[in-house]
């Protein structure tokens, strides 16, 4: 392994996850922390921690210069970006390259190409991958009216620079175009500093299906199967599962092939995810975007393939070959991930930071918990609300669901509010067991939870 010391430019559960992968490979880990995270679990588990700035992410985890200075200061030969923050920032990746620091992820050119969804759609098309019927850049809502008519309502406005479900607005009829356009543009400007919008046909009965891919610098590309992330709220994932049991086998194979064709086409290196929307009514799939990083929900793929994706990221970044042929990737059982957040579902999902006075996760077979939390930990108010990921591996889908129900039922947290009860509501619903849910299920059913 040519990488000897990694700076981890992230926080929370993913920083802990990367520390563990480094330990397993005998790599030194230095955790970059803001003032609010000096005492974090990652800081304590890592070989070292280095403070990069104040609590506010703009002055710490998003401050490229501070992170590069820290990496050079501790003589790290690599930076692992985790997900979010600078993970998909092409300027940051380029700066790492220019400073001879290995970025644990793809080359800056790949990050740049896929970072703009309009550009990514064109690239996908050029490799024969179907994209959702849509538009080029829309400059004003007046321009949108004719194109929206051609595409057919409902449509979505989407931010070209978008991520994390932000900058997306649904439009059901022409009279809604103006307000939706303005809101999407404002949200995109605030979140990404780029208000470029485009339109896509809104797939009404949709499942979110994504393919985990991996490439190395020797042009080897493999996929590690798909994940179904259709249980969403406001275009953000809540529960994910692998494999995608509700999609016909032939279609699943076609989606996997499309993802591999794209990734081979762009000579992609390291871990990535190609996201698709699956139209259940038509049994058709379309490219949505490619995330050029490790995904939050990567552990369910690890569960069913037995491949440690973060260790593989480090190996491939250090110049090793993948070491797997496609035929060596096999799938076993079914895995489900629940995202446990510090939030109050009965109060519009308001964030609920504060001190955790009781932290009692379930200790059950087949259950993995990725977390940075512990009893006594104070959840800071500055960052996103993810507390833990509960990953359950069962022998089949039914078994995984039963174990998840039990694990959630036994998970006790006090001092702050969490969405555990809400997750229980979702997983216990007969629609989950039958698989009869799509990306709009939460919206349509949340009333029953609130009033129940």
What distance, in Å, lies between the first and last C-alpha atoms of the chain?
54
Q: Which is nearer to Mg ion, 424 or 439 (by Cβ)?
A: 439
- Torsions phi, psi for 102 (to 5 deg): -70, 125
Strands 284-291, 270-279: pairing kind: antiparallel
Please give the residues from 271 up to 300 whose contact with Mg ion meets the rule CB under 5 A. Answer: 275
Contacts (Cβ under 8 Å, ≥6 apart) of 345: 419, 421, 422, 446, 449, 450
> Judged by CB under 6 A, does residue 83 bind ligand ADP?
yes
Partner from Mg ion, ligand ADP, none binding residue 84, C-beta < 5-8 Å depending on class:
ligand ADP
Return the residue of 275, 302, 370, 417 that touches ligand ADP, per CB under 6 A.
Answer: 275
Q: Which stretch binds ligand ADP (CB under 6 A): 81-89, 135-143, 304-312, 410-418?
A: 81-89
Question: Smallest distance from the beta carbon of 297 to ligand ADP, in angstroms?
Answer: 6
Using CB under 6 A, count the residues that bind ligand ADP.
Answer: 30
Residue 262 binds ligand ADP, judged by CB under 6 A: no
Closest contact distance (angstroms) between CB of 19 and ligand ADP is 19
- State which residue, 210 or 269, has the beta carbon closest to Mg ion: 210
Asked if residue 119 binds ligand ADP (CB under 6 A), the reply is no
Using CA atoms, how far apart are residues 8 and 361, in angstroms rounded to an integer? 26
Q: Is 27 left (phi over 0), alpha (psi -120 to 50) or beta?
A: beta
CA distances from 277 to 122, 200, 205, 401 (A): 17, 11, 10, 23
Cβ neighbors of 31 (< 8 A, separation 6 or more) are: 7, 8, 15, 19, 40, 42, 43, 46, 48, 49, 50
Q: What are the angstrom distances between the C-alpha of 358 and each of 168, 377, 412, 416?
A: 37, 10, 7, 9
Say whether 448 is catalytic: no
Q: Could you tell which of Mg ion, ligand ADP, none binds residue 17, using a CB distance below 5 to 8 A set by kind? A: none
Residue of closest CB approach to Mg ion: 275
Query: From the list Mg ion, ligand ADP, none, which binds 296 (C-beta under 5 to 8 Å, kind-based)?
Result: ligand ADP
> Which one of the spans 192-200, 215-223, 269-277, 389-397 is the region binding Mg ion (CB under 5 A)?
269-277
Piece of 32-40, 177-185, 195-203, 403-411 that binds ligand ADP (CB under 6 A)? 195-203
The verdict on 130 binding ligand ADP (CB under 6 A) reads no
Considering only residues 22, 41, 96, 203, which one is a binding residue for ligand ADP as defined by CB under 6 A? Answer: 203
Nearer residue to Mg ion within complex by CB, 88 or 275: 275
Q: Which of 165, 306, 381, 398 binds ligand ADP (CB under 6 A)?
A: 165
Residues in contact with 324: Cβ distance below 8 Å, sequence separation at least 6, in sequence order: 222, 307
Least separation, in Å, of the C-beta of 411 and ligand ADP?
20
From the CB of 231, what's the least distance to Mg ion, in Å? 14
Residue number, 200 or 269, with CB nearest to ligand ADP: 200
Which of helix, strand or coil describes residue 402?
A: helix
- Tell me which of 293, 339, 397, 403 is the catalytic residue: 293
Q: Is 139 in contact with 164 (CB distance < 8 Å)?
A: no
Task: Collect all residues with Cβ–Cβ distance below 8 Å to 154 and sequence separation of at least 6.
Answer: 170, 171, 172, 201, 202, 204
Q: Does 439 bind ligand ADP (CB under 6 A)?
A: yes
Binding of residue 206 to ligand ADP (CB under 6 A): yes
How many CA atoms lie within 13 Å of 417's alpha carbon, on the beta-carbon side? 12
Task: Let me know: does 317 contact 2? Beta carbons within 8 Å.
Answer: no
Question: Residue 331 CA to chain centroid, in angstroms?
Answer: 21
Give every CB contact of residue 248 below 8 A, 6+ residues apart in sequence: 283
295 interacts with ligand ADP by CB under 6 A: yes
CB of 201 to ligand ADP, least distance (A): 6
Size of the site for Mg ion (CB under 5 A): 1
The distance of closest approach from Cβ of residue 293 to ligand ADP in the complex, given in angstroms and rounded to an integer, is: 7
Binding to ligand ADP by residue 235, rule CB under 6 A?
A: yes
Instruction: Give the residue, chosen from 202, 287, 422, 437, that forms a contact with ligand ADP under the rule CB under 6 A.
Output: 202
Using CB under 6 A as the binding rule, whether residue 131 contacts ligand ADP is answered as no
Report the site for Mg ion in 159-188 (rule: CB under 5 A). none
Token digits of residue 159 = 């931010």
Distance CA 221, CA 58 (A): 35
Q: Which helix (H) or strand (E) holds 387?
A: strand 386-394
Q: Residue 409 touches which of Mg ion, ligand ADP, none (CB < 5 to 8 A by kind)?
A: none
Sheet with 197-201, edge to edge strand ranges: 169-171, 155-159, 197-201
Binding site for Mg ion (CB under 5 A): 275
Binding site for ligand ADP (CB under 6 A): 83-84, 88, 132, 156, 162-165, 168, 200-203, 206, 208, 232, 235-237, 275, 277, 288-289, 291, 295-297, 384, 439
């Amino acid at each position: 392994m040519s990488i000897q010391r990694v700076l981890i430019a992230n926080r929370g559960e993913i920083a802990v996850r990367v520390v563990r992968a480094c330990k397993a490979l005998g790599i030194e880990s230095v955790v970059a922390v803001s003032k609010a995270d000096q005492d974090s679990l990652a800081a304590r588990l890592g070989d070292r921690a280095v403070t990069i700035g104040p609590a506010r992410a703009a002055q710490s985890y998003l401050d490229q210069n501070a992170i590069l200075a820290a990496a050079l200061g501790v003589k790290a030969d690599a930076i692992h970006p985790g997900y979010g923050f600078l993970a998909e920032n092409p300027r940051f990746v380029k700066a790492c390259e220019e400073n001879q620091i290995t970025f644990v992820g793809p080359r800056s050119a790949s990050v740049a190409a896929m970072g703009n969804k309009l550009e990514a759609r064109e690239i996908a098309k050029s490799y024969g991958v179907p994209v959702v019927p849509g538009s080029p850049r829309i400059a004003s809502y007046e321009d949108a009216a004719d194109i929206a008519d051609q595409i057919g309502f409902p449509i979505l406005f989407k931010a070209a620079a978008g991520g994390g479900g932000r900058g997306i607005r649904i439009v059901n009829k022409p009279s809604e175009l103006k307000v939706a356009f303005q809101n999407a543009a404002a949200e995109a400007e605030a979140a990404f500093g780029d208000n470029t919008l485009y339109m896509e046909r809104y797939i009404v009965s949709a499942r979110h299906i994504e393919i985990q891919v991996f490439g190395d610098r020797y042009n080897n590309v493999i996929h590690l199967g798909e994940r179904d992330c259709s249980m969403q709220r406001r275009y953000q994932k809540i529960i994910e599962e692998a494999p995608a049991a509700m999609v016909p086998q032939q279609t699943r194979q076609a989606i996997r092939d499309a993802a591999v064709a794209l990734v081979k086409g762009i000579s992609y290196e390291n871990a990535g995810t190609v996201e698709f929307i699956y139209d259940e009514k038509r049994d058709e799939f379309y490219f949505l975007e490619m995330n050029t990083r490790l995904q939050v929900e990567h552990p369910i793929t690890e569960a069913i393939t037995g491949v440690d994706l973060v260790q593989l990221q480090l190996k491939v970044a250090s110049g090793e070959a993948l070491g797997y042929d496609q035929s060596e990737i096999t799938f076993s059982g079914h895995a489900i991930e629940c995202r446990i957040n510090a939030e109050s579902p009965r109060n519009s999902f308001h964030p609920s930071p504060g001190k955790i006075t009781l932290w009692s996760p379930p200790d059950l077979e087949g259950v993995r918990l990725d977390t940075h939390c512990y009893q006594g930990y104070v959840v800071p108010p500055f960052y996103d609300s993810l507390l833990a990921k509960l990953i359950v591996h069962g022998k089949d889908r039914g078994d995984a669901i039963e174990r998840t129900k039990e694990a959630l039922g036994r998970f006790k947290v006090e001092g702050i509010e969490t969405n555990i009860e809400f997750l229980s509501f979702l997983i216990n619903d007969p629609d989950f067991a039958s698989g009869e849910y799509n990306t709009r299920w939460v919206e349509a059913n949340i009333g029953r939870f609130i009033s129940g």
